[in-house]
Amino acid sequence: MARKMVVRQTDGSEVILTEVPAEDEAQLQAMLRDHPEVLPLDDFDLTGPMLVVGKETQLASGAVDLVGLARGGEPIVVEFKTGPQNSDFRSALAQLMDYGSDLWEMDLERFEHSVAIRYFASDHCTDAQYKGITSLRTAAKAAWPEMSDAEWDAAAEKLQHRLASGAVDYVLAAQRFTEASQRTIHYLNQVTTGPRFYAVEVVRFRGSDGESAESFECRTLVRPTPRSGPTTTIDRDRLLSAVTDERYRDALGEFLGSAVSLGLVLEWGSVGVSIRARTPWRPEPVTLGWLFPPGRSGWMGLTDLTLGYDPATVATLSGGQDLFERYGELIGKIPGSEPLKTTAVTGRKLPPACVLSEGGVVSDVLATFVSGL
């Protein structure tokens, strides 16, 4: 039996809406694309509203219906199905996994350009607020105007980590889910770690005359069981214990100790640590470097030790641009340093051999910056 909805209007009149089938997947896509706030991210333990960064996004395995971001930096992949057949759900789940494998190990810069910016420049993006935007940071500030630079830095780091590890949030949206399809999604959540799977029922209602009113509702039917356990934030001991080379481990310990003695702030994340400086030009500290254990990558795909800064952040400061430029010049003179693959950071990578041979020079560069403050 079709479900009903009563809509009480401001003039006191009431309209009874009846559940009806969606016209097609495109109708459901358009509804969530234009109104991402109706996707119940609170049910996913994520902070919304969702920022849509892709529609019909072309990846190696096909076109993703919707790609979104939660405010915390969690990537969300949405696939729509209107039919109730089990075969349709099996196909949709397989598609979601294929899309995830395409996104897996994609660095942040590539994701930004091949997914988000391409979408904002396409005809699929119909929201004037985002049309033509050329950076994820700008889009995030438009979606969440109160977001600080420090919050975006943390979200970008989490996004990079999620892409590197394949920990994507997968949403299968449909008008009806069979018991078998729900059990399959429960099973995937039970036996996998990292990725999370959700079944969201999208229900369309219309007035009895078929014209007067229309409504859509999203309901979360299946979600992962919340996992309890210790925090995933790394710390000094955990980072250093991941370094098997004793000399390199000692050198990194000395580097971190030197940073603290200079009054710099160590901001620990889920993978590594960012080295930040308090400045007179904004309330939040500004990042001067990033450190990740061997074999791990973090924000913007950075690995090992990187000294540098985000030029987009520095450009927003009320002063100090010359100091950061001089800092960048000094980093470029460190023997053994290497150019970065990303253009989103002004700086250089310092591989283990460089840290071992030039540890004193590295500390001097940071000291010179601090004295310039």
Question: Within a 10 A sphere around the Cβ of 177, how many other Cβ atoms?
Answer: 21
Measured distance CA(89)–CA(317) in Å, rounded: 50
Q: How many CA atoms lie within 13 A of 141 on its CB side?
A: 12
Residue 164 makes CB contacts below 8 A (sequence gap 6+) with: 104, 105, 107, 296, 297, 298, 301
End-to-end CA distance of the chain: 71
Block mean pLDDT (10 aa), the chain, length 373: 77 83 76 81 87 93 93 93 68 90 90 95 93 95 89 87 89 87 91 89 78 79 70 78 93 93 88 91 89 83 91 87 96 95 88 95 95 92
Domain ranges in the chain with CATH number 3.40.1350.10: 4-222
Whether 52 contacts 33, CB under 8 Å: yes
Instruction: Identify the residue whose tokens are 């809406």.
Output: 17
Residue 118 makes CB contacts below 8 A (sequence gap 6+) with: 54, 57
Q: Using N-to-C axis directions, what is the helix angle for 246-261 and 352-372, rounded to 10°?
A: 0
Enclosing H/E stretch for 249: helix 246-261
pLDDT of residue 231: 45
Residue count (the chain) = 373
Helix count and strand count (H, E) for the chain = 12, 13
Which one-letter DSSP state was computed for residue 37?
G
The predicted model scores a pTM of: 0.61
Measured distance CA(294)–CA(352) in Å, rounded: 9
Instruction: Identify the residue whose tokens are 């290497």.
Output: 338
In CATH terms, the fold of domain 4-222 is Trna Endonuclease; Chain: A, domain 1 (3.40.1350)
